[in-house]
Amino acid sequence: RQGYQVSGFTDLVLVRGERLVFAELKVKGRQPTPVQQEWLDVLGKVPGIQVFLWRETDWLGIMEALS
């Protein structure tokens, strides 16, 4: 089943227990669109959640953030 799509919304929403993570995924050299950046900024202001912008070059940091 495909999820509901909202323009610019983050690529990943991860939940485990009481932890909630939103992550935008970008390839090297690409930046978030203005709408994507707006989502990241708004979500980043919500207490208790984590927001990330990840690239394939961030693999070690991604593993650390998710462990």
CA distances from 46 to 9, 16, 22 (A): 15, 17, 11
pTM of the model: 0.85
Structure tokens at 3: 């999820």
Q: Rg for the chain (alpha carbons), in Å?
A: 12
> In this model, does residue 47 exceed pLDDT 90?
yes
Percent pLDDT > 70 in the chain is 94
CB 26 within 8 A of CB 55: yes
> In this model, does residue 14 exceed pLDDT 70?
yes
Q: How far apart are CA 26 and CA 41, in angstroms?
A: 16
> In this model, does residue 37 exceed pLDDT 70?
yes
